[in-house]
Structure 1
Amino acid sequence: MQHSAKNSITSMLKSNQMLISTCLMGLEPAVLEHFLSRKIIYTAIQDNKFTKHFKPCVVRKIMRCMYQVEYPKGSFIMEEKQEGKNLFIVEEGKFQIEQEGSDEAIMGILGKLYGEEEFLMSHRRLSKIKAITNCKVWKLSRKVYKIIMKSTGENAKDLEILRNFPWFENADEDMLTKIANSIVLENFGTYEVLKLKNNTLYIINNGSVKILENKTDQVKENILGVLSRGDHFEGNTESENKMIAFYPGVELLTIDMDILKELIGERVDVRQETILEPVNENTTHDEDPSADIKLEDLEAIASLGKGSFGRVDLVRYSKDPNDIKLYALKVMEKHRTVKILQQSHVIDERKILFDCEHPFIIKLHKTFRDDMYIYMLFEACLGGQVWEILMKNGFFNDETSRFIAASAIEALDYLHRKKIIYRDLKTDNMVIDQNGYVKLVDFGLSKHLGFTGRTWSFCGTPCNIAPEIILNFGHDRAVDYWALGLMIYELLSGCSAFSDSNPRRAYEQIMDGIDSIDFSYLIVGRPAEDLIKKLCRQEPTERIGYRTIEDIREHRWFQGFDWKALISKSIKPPKCIVPSLKHPADISYVHPLEVDYTYTPIKEESNWDQAFE
């Protein structure tokens, strides 16, 4: 970028904080006083396939926060392979767009919004924009956009936290609003000891903390417990334990108890028991036969799958006298986990899975660690993936699809009651056990929301991502109902509702909505079509199941289905998904992958993974 453009950007960045404050107070910055510029920006937002779905209050704030930069002839407005940190609208001048891997350039269009996909999804840019003449450009930074989106729903989010908080179950809306206004944020960095105050209520808004015995003579840390998003506790400066933030830090919502009592008076019955006492987190139950298994007792038979996280091996317990005890061992490189900043996600996955005991959720037996890897030992389900069976059959009939969907619904209901969202429901993440029952696996994207209501991460499988995730609106359990609708569509038709090898086109289809697709002839006119459309409504709170999951169970597509028999496993699974295993260690329904077991990764010894012992 040329010198004058740099100076202009630098000066704008210096006033960035003031600009954010100004826009959020609802004032008009001088840069947008010109009516024509306002009209250009508004039209660009409304004509874009993604941003046209923004709510009017969001559009107004974006218009107020956009700032103007002048780019001289020959400079790059947008550069290739950079992160999508800005949105662009060129108001004046001529410019061209050069695509990666192409020698041809196309002329840009004035008043059109550029860079939105990389901006919304935090992707690297695959094209660049070059100024052919001097250009006048309106920009919006992603940092400001996030502030806008969060501030738009911040008050509602705080109120939702308090509505769900057990202390305030009898408070009216006026009282909850006053309490929400008293909330103060506190942040602690990686491995920082939390400096807590007496007489203060703390709610974890983001991140996790570990509770340690505060003994100076200890050679090794003794972890008493791990708290994560939604957990709460009272400050106690005389406690014998200390709390330390996991990577990348923790954000706490704090409420002064004196202020709280002053606000509440005698109007609300505040529950006096506190809050969450640290407890030892056992990795196995006493009756669990895997309790005595050690890492060195496990022998790899085959690799069941590979991904960016690592791999899953089918392993045999070498000390089993009958030689038939098999498990699935998830193996993750510690160094890579740290490199891609996934420590807190891995810790959350472990905590969530140990907290779950459900017939349709994969069971985590135990975890291990060494200098190079962390390990998670699961039950082995040898009937294969639902997706694999679906591909062999082409599609499933109503009976089989209902059985699989109902199993997912029971698992989601269980998770949602625990304030956990799954966020990656698809046929690939459902496996079949030896008796034909379906289980949910891979909790790498699951998150415990607790009382905090929503989260803002961009994650999921491109063809299954809900609209509110694409637009960074913040999301909650409604994304699981969206994914459930798409999974039912796939079960009945054998194909995805939104399918494209190009994620951008898939996102555009999703933003156009479920009503924009031509439903498969296998679904049209049947009760399942109505259920799918109700699960996949664009507005999250309007999706069936969001008010109560009973609305899904009572839908006419499930008419006559025996839910009690399913949860007790007294209902027989459909024959087409029941595996014909010749013996308990029969692996004919899984497809082993080639793995180089001699590979040795870089050691990682920062001790962030101590809970995996």
Structure 2
Amino acid sequence: DQNKIKQAIQNNEFLSKVISGKCLNEIINAMQVRKVQAKQKIIKQDDKGSEMYVSMRGKFRILKKGKVVGEFNDIRVFGELAILYKSKRLATIQAVTDGAVWVLGRDIYQQIVISSNLKEQDENLAFLKNVDYLNVVNEQVLRQVSNLLKPEFFPPSTTIVRQGDKGDKFYIIRAGTVTITKTGAGVLGKLGKGQCFGEMALQKEDTRQATVTAEAPGVDCLTLTRADFINHFGDVEIPKIEVKKTTFKDDAEAEYQDIKLTDLKILTTLGIGGFGRVELVQHKKKKNLVFSLKYLKKAEIVHMKQENHVYNEKIIQMNCKSHFIVRLYRTYKDNKYVYFLMEACLGGDLFSLIQKQKGKRFEEKDAKFYVACVIESLDYLHSKGIIYRDLKPENLMVDKIGYLKLTDFGFAKRMPARGKTFTFAGTPEYVAPEIVLNRGHDRSVDYWALGVFVFELLTGKTPFKTGDTSHMRTYNKILNGIINFPPSVSPKARNLVEKLCRPGPAERLGMQKGGIRDIKMHKWYQDFDWIKFGQRQISAPIKPKIRDALDTSNFDRFPQDKNIPPDETSGWDIDF
């Protein structure tokens, strides 16, 4: 049975990239058998599922909108997206005959993956602690080094290192044995699990002093290149490295704290979202005070278990004061809604602005300006220990002089230095491979998304757009990486995107010792005046036409919301 499940997972284009190694075996062991009866619906179209299935025996029917679109009686995976996040079922699977399926729940899957990844990181750390040259530094720095290690397998008789060659790579043996030989001296010895060779390559370009050969049945190593090591730590004298900690201060002003919800008059709707809408509001007495007011339905927030996300959004955005981030002044609550009183940016959003451009894309000089706005906002957030995780044109507002401001902090999260989080967060076409793989992620996901953003501004679409509503093909493309660039993208822009969208998080531009400054100094930004830009002294490519503080001509029109939600009084919003 286990081999059948394994084959089904390995035959699935998406899961074969997501689940492998020890993790695959643990997942197979965790799957439970569930009997099904003829005519039983195992999953229903449009339901939000939390389980993945592998057909075991019996015949099954695929239905869409009540119509049969296919049948199968082989062993195959279905409902696999549910193990990543709450996704709508795209079809109904009904048993035609009595049979059985193997089942895996999302909670169990995520526990296994997180545990497996943390266990692997701890194992790597343990290996590093046995390296005399590296074990003199504190564990926090050593843990970061462990994130740079890459697994490599060498078949039997492979020459891993050849005497006399220049070396720039360090090896730790995870499994297997190697033989060390030297010209004129023959066999010097053998090395096995937990032992290492080539450590001098981390200090300087090393001339290999001996030949190292893999013995049967092969050798599994963890490797670290000198380039990666220096990029992240600069001076290879590791003891001198200091880990800088970022503190988060609550510096929200008391600005507008005296304004009550009843002081505000709703003028028109600026946008609608999953849990509510954003309205343009005006102070009833002080007519010069105009804001955007986002309000969210509490009952829906509780139903979708998003209380922490919404509370997090309030705390983070209220503590952000940057020219490149929409200000949140205060919040309110009543029995039906929570409210966010925010700065009004009447230039509309960047997505709408892109749609008005020729070819629905920007010229490079214009794209460079808009990308710079995002770089400044990410620089600010990362300096406060915050990762954003939802970069896309829809979340960037255009202010009155044409600069962009980041908004919607529902996925933002404060992260400890060197920490990782495992929550699936973001918009499908923008998520990084490590989010899809559930391997834990950090601020490097924002740099991946920045690369996708640059690509979209220059070409009119993201590199991972498929039109697949299940997003499965999108995730497959993400795991394969960006392969093709239109000829209209300049070599410098292409180079920037490629460096931001490296598959390895630690390899992305912005993750080396220079941090986000490396992005600002990239050759695409040659001759760009970052000082003037930060002072908002560079003219925006497009200055929006705004007649007055009440002009909403840059927004679409929306019908009134006639669905009044029920009361929700559990008290989760006590601090709003």
TM-score normalised according to structure 2 size = 0.71
Instruction: Please give the alpha-carbon distance, in whole angstroms, between the structure 2 residues aligned to 1:484 and 1:423.
Output: 10
Pairwise mapping of residues 10-409 of structure 1 onto structure 2 (< 5 A)?
A: 37-53=1-17, 54-67=19-32, 69=33, 71=35, 74=38, 76=40, 78-81=42-45, 84-90=49-55, 93-104=57-68, 106-108=70-72, 110-130=74-94, 137-155=101-119, 172-173=138-139, 284-285=253-254, 288=255, 290-320=256-286, 323-393=287-357, 394-409=360-375
Instruction: Work out whether residues 349 and 446 of structure 1, in 8 Å CA contact, stay in contact via their aligned partners in 2.
Output: yes
Which letter does structure 1 place at the counterpart of 2:432?
A
Instruction: Work out whether residues 467 and 510 of structure 1, in 8 Å CA contact, stay in contact via their aligned partners in 2.
Output: no
**How many residues matched?**
458
Cross-structure match for 2:497: 532
Cross-structure match for 2:548: 583
Cross-structure match for 2:209: none
Instruction: Please give the alpha-carbon distance, in whole angstroms, between the structure 2 residues aligned to 1:420 and 1:94.
Output: 50
| Secondary structure at the counterpart of residue 406 of structure 1 | helix
More deviation, 291-300/118-127: 118-127
1:562 pairs, out of 523, 529, 553, with 529
| 1:243-278 Cα deviation digits (max 9, x unpaired) | xxxxxxxxxxxxxxxxxxxxxxxxx9xxxxxx999x
Instruction: Please give the alpha-carbon distance, in whole angstroms, between the structure 1 residues aligned to 2:34 and 2:361.
Output: 56
More deviation, 57-66/427-436: 57-66
Instruction: Please give the alpha-carbon distance, in whole angstroms, between the structure 1 residues aligned to 2:448 and 2:346.
Output: 28
Instruction: Please give the alpha-carbon distance, in whole angstroms, between the structure 1 residues aligned to 2:95 and 2:422.
Output: 34
Cross-structure match for 2:480: 513
Instruction: Work out whether residues 71 and 77 of structure 1, in 8 Å CA contact, stay in contact via their aligned partners in 2.
Output: no
Cross-structure match for 1:549: 516
| 1:345-376 Cα deviation digits (max 9, x unpaired) | 11111110122111101111122223332221
Structure 1 residue 134: Cα displacement: 6.5
Instruction: Please give the alpha-carbon distance, in whole angstroms, between the structure 1 residues aligned to 2:89 and 2:563.
Output: 33
Cross-structure match for 2:488: 522
Note closer, same or farther for the CA distance 1:350–1:429 as it changes in structure 2 (3 Å cut).
Answer: same
Which letter does structure 2 place at the counterpart of 1:89?
V
Note closer, same or farther for the CA distance 1:100–1:471 as it changes in structure 2 (3 Å cut).
Answer: farther
Instruction: Please give the alpha-carbon distance, in whole angstroms, between the structure 2 residues aligned to 1:546 and 1:501.
Output: 32
Instruction: Please give the alpha-carbon distance, in whole angstroms, between the structure 2 residues aligned to 1:298 and 1:558.
Output: 44
Instruction: Work out whether residues 159 and 176 of structure 1, in 8 Å CA contact, stay in contact via their aligned partners in 2.
Output: no
Cross-structure match for 2:223: none
Which letter does structure 2 place at the counterpart of 1:104?
V
Instruction: Please give the alpha-carbon distance, in whole angstroms, between the structure 2 residues aligned to 1:174 and 1:428.
Output: 37
Instruction: Work out whether residues 361 and 460 of structure 2, in 8 Å CA contact, stay in contact via their aligned partners in 1.
Output: yes
Instruction: Work out whether residues 329 and 341 of structure 2, in 8 Å CA contact, stay in contact via their aligned partners in 1.
Output: yes
Cross-structure match for 1:445: 411
Instruction: Please give the alpha-carbon distance, in whole angstroms, between the structure 1 residues aligned to 2:496 and 2:73.
Output: 41
Which letter does structure 1 place at the counterpart of 2:52?
L
More deviation, 405-414/104-113: 104-113
Cross-structure match for 2:538: 571
| Identity between Structure 1 and Structure 2 (%) | 34
Instruction: Please give the alpha-carbon distance, in whole angstroms, between the structure 1 residues aligned to 2:123 and 2:277.
Output: 41
Note closer, same or farther for the CA distance 1:345–1:468 as it changes in structure 2 (3 Å cut).
Answer: same
Instruction: Work out whether residues 160 and 451 of structure 1, in 8 Å CA contact, stay in contact via their aligned partners in 2.
Output: no
| Secondary structure at the counterpart of residue 515 of structure 1 | coil
| Secondary structure at the counterpart of residue 292 of structure 1 | coil
Cross-structure match for 1:424: 390
| Secondary structure at the counterpart of residue 383 of structure 1 | coil
Which letter does structure 2 place at the counterpart of 1:490?
E
Instruction: Work out whether residues 283 and 367 of structure 1, in 8 Å CA contact, stay in contact via their aligned partners in 2.
Output: no
Instruction: Work out whether residues 50 and 85 of structure 2, in 8 Å CA contact, stay in contact via their aligned partners in 1.
Output: no
Which letter does structure 1 place at the counterpart of 2:510?
G
Note closer, same or farther for the CA distance 1:158–1:584 as it changes in structure 2 (3 Å cut).
Answer: farther
| Secondary structure at the counterpart of residue 281 of structure 2 | strand
Instruction: Structure 2 unaligned segments of length 5 or more: list them.
Output: 126-135, 144-238, 240-245
Instruction: Structure 1 unaligned segments of length 5 or more: list them.
Output: 1-36, 162-169, 178-267, 269-274
1:593 pairs, out of 535, 558, 572, with 558
Instruction: Work out whether residues 463 and 482 of structure 2, in 8 Å CA contact, stay in contact via their aligned partners in 1.
Output: no
Structure 1 residue 419: Cα displacement: 2.0
More deviation, 69-78/339-348: 69-78
| Secondary structure at the counterpart of residue 97 of structure 1 | strand
Instruction: Work out whether residues 513 and 537 of structure 1, in 8 Å CA contact, stay in contact via their aligned partners in 2.
Output: no
TM-score normalised according to structure 1 size = 0.67
- Is 1:462 aligned to 2:428, yes or no? yes
Which letter does structure 1 place at the counterpart of 2:68?
E
Note closer, same or farther for the CA distance 1:363–1:74 as it changes in structure 2 (3 Å cut).
Answer: same
Note closer, same or farther for the CA distance 1:349–1:39 as it changes in structure 2 (3 Å cut).
Answer: same
Which letter does structure 1 place at the counterpart of 2:9?
I
Instruction: Please give the alpha-carbon distance, in whole angstroms, between the structure 2 residues aligned to 1:592 and 1:77.
Output: 41
Instruction: Please give the alpha-carbon distance, in whole angstroms, between the structure 2 residues aligned to 1:483 and 1:44.
Output: 32
Instruction: Please give the alpha-carbon distance, in whole angstroms, between the structure 2 residues aligned to 1:372 and 1:476.
Output: 35
Pairwise mapping of residues 595-610 of structure 1 onto structure 2 (< 5 A)?
A: 595-596=560-561, 600-610=564-574
